[in-house]
A and B are shown apart, each in its own frame.
Chain A
Amino acid sequence: MIGRLRRFFALARERRRFEAEMAEEMADHLVRRSADLEADGWAPSDARRRARLEFGSVEGFQEACREAVWLHLLDELWRNLRHGVRVLFRNPVLTSTVILTLGLGIGVNVSIFSLLDAALLRPLPYSAAERLVVVETHFGQDGVSASGNLYQNGRTWEALAGSVQQLDLAVFSDGSSGVNAVVDGRAEYLQQQRVGAGFFRVLGVDPLIGREFTAREDVPGGPRLAILSHRLWQHLYLGRSEVLGRTLQLRGEPYEIVGVMPADFRTGVDADLWTPLRPSLRGEGEGANYMILGRLRGAATLDSASDEVRAIGAPALEALRIPAGRQAWLGLESLQRGLGREAGSHLLLSWLAAWLLLGVCSFNVTGLVLALAARRSAEMATRRALGGGRGAIVRQMLTESLVLCALGGGLGILLAAFGVRLAGAFLASLLELWQPIALDARALAVALLLTLFALLVTGLYPAWVSARRHARHDAIRVARRSLSSRRVLVTAQLALVVALLVGAGQLVRTILHLQDLTPGFNAEGLVAATVSLQDVRYRQPDAANRLLQSVAARLNDDPAIAVASAGLNLPYERPLNLSFVWGAEEEGKITNLSYVTPGYFEALQVPLLDGRYLDTRDDAPGAATAVVNAAFVHTYLGDREPLGTSLRIAGAERSIVGVVSDTRQTPGWGENEPLGHRAAVFISLSQTSAPFLELVHGWFEPSWVVRPRGGGVNVEERLRAAVSAIDPQLPIAAVRSMDAVRDQVLARQRLQASLLAAAAGGALIIAAVGLGGLVAASVAERRREFGIRLALGASPWSALGEAVLPGLRLAVFGLVWGLPLAVALAYGLRAFVHGVGPWDAVTYGWVATLLAIAAGFASLLPALRVLRFDPARLLRSD
Chain B
Amino acid sequence: MAKSNDLLQGTLDLLILKTVSLQPMHGYGILLRLEQLSGGALNVPQGSLYPALYRLVHRGWLDSEFGVSENNRRAKFYSLTAEGRRQLEVEERQWQRLSQGVTMVLKASRGVA
Could you list which residues of chain A lie within 8 angstroms of chain B, going by C-beta atoms? 3-4, 7-8, 21-22, 24-26, 28-29, 31-33, 54-58, 60-61, 64-65, 67-70
Whether the Cβ atoms of A61 and B51 lie closer than 8 Å is: yes
Whether the Cβ atoms of A64 and B46 lie closer than 8 Å is: no
Whether the Cβ atoms of B57 and A69 lie closer than 8 Å is: yes
Tell whether A4 pairs with B58 under 8 Å between CB atoms, given A28-B26, A56-B46. Answer: yes
Whether the Cβ atoms of B58 and A68 lie closer than 8 Å is: yes
Could you list which residues of chain B lie within 8 angstroms of chain A, going by C-beta atoms? 1-2, 26-28, 45-48, 50-52, 54-55, 57-60, 66, 73-76
Whether the Cβ atoms of A28 and B75 lie closer than 8 Å is: yes
Whether the Cβ atoms of A4 and B75 lie closer than 8 Å is: no
The residue in chain A whose Cβ has the minimal distance to the Cβ of B73 is A28
B54 — which chain A residues lie within 8 A by C-beta? Answer: 65, 68-69
Whether the Cβ atoms of A54 and B58 lie closer than 8 Å is: no
Whether the Cβ atoms of A55 and B46 lie closer than 8 Å is: yes
Whether the Cβ atoms of A21 and B28 lie closer than 8 Å is: no
The residue in chain B whose Cβ has the minimal distance to the Cβ of A25 is B76
A22 — which chain B residues lie within 8 A by C-beta? Answer: 50
B74 to chain A, nearest CB (A): 8
B8 to chain A, nearest CB (A): 19
Whether the Cβ atoms of A7 and B1 lie closer than 8 Å is: no
The residue in chain B whose Cβ has the minimal distance to the Cβ of A28 is B75
Whether the Cβ atoms of B1 and A64 lie closer than 8 Å is: yes
Whether the Cβ atoms of A61 and B28 lie closer than 8 Å is: no
B34 to chain A, nearest CB (A): 14
Most chain A beta carbons < 10 A, residue from B1, B2, B55:
B2
A426 to chain B, nearest CB (A): 55
Whole-angstrom CA separation of A84 from B7 in the bound complex: 41
Tell whether A28 pairs with B28 under 8 Å between CB atoms, given A58-B47, A61-B51. Answer: yes
Residue of A7, A29, A31, A57 touching B27 (CB-CB under 8 A) = A29
Whether the Cβ atoms of B58 and A33 lie closer than 8 Å is: no
A-B contact pairs, 19 of them (CB 8 A): A8-B58, A24-B76, A25-B26, A28-B74, A28-B75, A28-B76, A29-B28, A29-B46, A33-B46, A56-B46, A56-B47, A58-B47, A64-B1, A65-B51, A67-B1, A68-B51, A68-B54, A68-B58, A69-B54
A28 — which chain B residues lie within 8 A by C-beta? Answer: 26, 28, 73-76
Whole-angstrom CA separation of A21 from B26 in the bound complex: 13
Whether the Cβ atoms of A60 and B47 lie closer than 8 Å is: yes
A295 to chain B, nearest CB (A): 51
Whole-angstrom CA separation of A722 from B12 in the bound complex: 102
Tell whether A64 pairs with B2 under 8 Å between CB atoms, given A33-B46, A57-B47. Answer: yes
Tell whether A7 pairs with B60 under 8 Å between CB atoms, given A33-B28, A64-B2, A65-B51. Answer: yes
The residue in chain A whose Cβ has the minimal distance to the Cβ of B27 is A29
Q: A33-B28, A56-B47, A61-B50 are in contact. List 9 more A-B contacts (CB 8 A).
A: A7-B58, A25-B27, A28-B28, A28-B73, A31-B73, A58-B47, A65-B54, A68-B51, A68-B58
Whole-angstrom CA separation of A515 from B47 in the bound complex: 84
Whether the Cβ atoms of B59 and A4 lie closer than 8 Å is: yes
A60 — which chain B residues lie within 8 A by C-beta? Answer: 2, 47
A56 — which chain B residues lie within 8 A by C-beta? Answer: 45-48
B48 to chain A, nearest CB (A): 7
B27 — which chain A residues lie within 8 A by C-beta? Answer: 25, 29
Residue of B26, B51, B74, B75 touching A64 (CB-CB under 8 A) = B51
Whether the Cβ atoms of B47 and A55 lie closer than 8 Å is: yes
B74 — which chain A residues lie within 8 A by C-beta? Answer: 24, 28
B40 to chain A, nearest CB (A): 14
Whole-angstrom CA separation of A57 from B75 in the bound complex: 21
A24 — which chain B residues lie within 8 A by C-beta? Answer: 74, 76
Whole-angstrom CA separation of A525 from B60 in the bound complex: 82
A595 to chain B, nearest CB (A): 83
Whole-angstrom CA separation of A29 from B59 in the bound complex: 23
A33 to chain B, nearest CB (A): 7
Whether the Cβ atoms of A26 and B50 lie closer than 8 Å is: yes
Whole-angstrom CA separation of A58 from B28 in the bound complex: 15
Residue of B26, B55, B60 touching A3 (CB-CB under 8 A) = B60
The residue in chain B whose Cβ has the minimal distance to the Cβ of A58 is B47
Whole-angstrom CA separation of A3 from B57 in the bound complex: 11
Most chain B beta carbons < 10 A, residue from A8, A54, A60, A65:
A65
The residue in chain A whose Cβ has the minimal distance to the Cβ of B46 is A55
Whole-angstrom CA separation of A29 from B28 in the bound complex: 6
Whether the Cβ atoms of A61 and B75 lie closer than 8 Å is: no
Whole-angstrom CA separation of A21 from B50 in the bound complex: 12
B50 — which chain A residues lie within 8 A by C-beta? Answer: 22, 25-26, 29, 61, 64-65
